[in-house]
């Protein structure tokens, strides 16, 4: 419980912060005009991205869609909600790949719990969170084999890969091609950043 101190002798009553349940979050999200992330009883609005952010997301989606066609995996845009059952994080990755049959959250028929790969396009305001706490949450998803982090302010693609021994390793590329071994794809850095500054 937080206490707010106004001065050396002025103290107000404790501030009671409302903690939302997952069901309350779902009810709010169903009627919201903007998307929200949910974690540890708190609800956070997801800010809209820049044109460069949106273009990079589209380039990655296109590349993965072309390579995964007919391979039993489905590429999803940022409208797909993902829940990390082990930690309670609920969010909307920029791009997600689900292989085999999508498993739905027992409490929400429009939320998936078994992505195989997730892509996040970073921004200066979210990079530390995406590379830290959010990545740690994602790594608790049993089905997840790869997390791709794409910088939008520099040419940098990072791939976190989980091997058969359940060990995560990191590789990066600033040029050339980087493999996404878990889904049998590769991302060409030039294609990821194609037309990044157009207009």
- The answer to whether 187 and 157 are in contact (CB under 8 A) is yes
- pLDDT per residue as tens digits for the range 43-101: 999 877 889 999 999 999 999 999 999 999 999 999 999 999 999 999 999 999 999 89
Domains of the chain: 48-192 (3.90.1570.10)
Buried b or exposed e, range 79-112, using 16+ CB within 10 angstroms = ebbbbbeebebbbbbbbbbbbeeeeebeebeebb
Question: Which pLDDT score, from 0 to 100, does residue 47 have?
Answer: 79
Write out the chain's pLDDT in tens, 199 residues. Answer: 343 333 444 444 455 568 999 999 999 999 898 999 999 999 999 877 889 999 999 999 999 999 999 999 999 999 999 999 999 999 999 999 999 899 999 999 999 999 999 999 998 888 999 999 999 999 999 999 999 999 988 999 999 999 999 999 999 999 999 999 999 999 999 999 997 654 4
118 strand-pairing partners: 96, 147
CA distance 21 to 144: 25
């Amino acid at each position: 419980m937080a206490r707010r101190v106004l001065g050396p002798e002025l103290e107000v009553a404790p501030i009671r912060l409302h903690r939302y349940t997952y069901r309350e979050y779902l009810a709010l999200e169903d009627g919201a005009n903007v998307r929200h992330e949910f974690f540890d009883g708190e609800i956070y609005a997801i800010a809209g991205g820049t044109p460069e952010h949106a273009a990079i997301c589209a380039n990655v989606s296109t590349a993965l869609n072309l390579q995964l066609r007919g391979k039993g995996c489905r590429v999803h845009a940022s409208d797909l909600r993902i829940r990390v059952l082990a930690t309670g994080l609920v969010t909307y990755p920029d791009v997600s790949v689900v292989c085999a049959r999508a498993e739905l959250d027992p409490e929400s028929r429009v939320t998936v719990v078994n992505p195989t790969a997730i892509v996040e396009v970073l921004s200066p305001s979210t990079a530390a969170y995406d590379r830290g706490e959010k990545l740690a949450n994602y790594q608790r998803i049993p089905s997840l084999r790869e997390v791709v982090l794409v910088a939008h302010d520099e040419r940098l693609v990072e791939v976190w890969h989980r091997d058969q021994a359940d060990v995560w390793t990191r590789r990066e590329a600033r040029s050339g091609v980087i493999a996404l071994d878990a889904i049998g794809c590769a991302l060409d850095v030039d294609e990821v950043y194609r037309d990044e500054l157009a207009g």
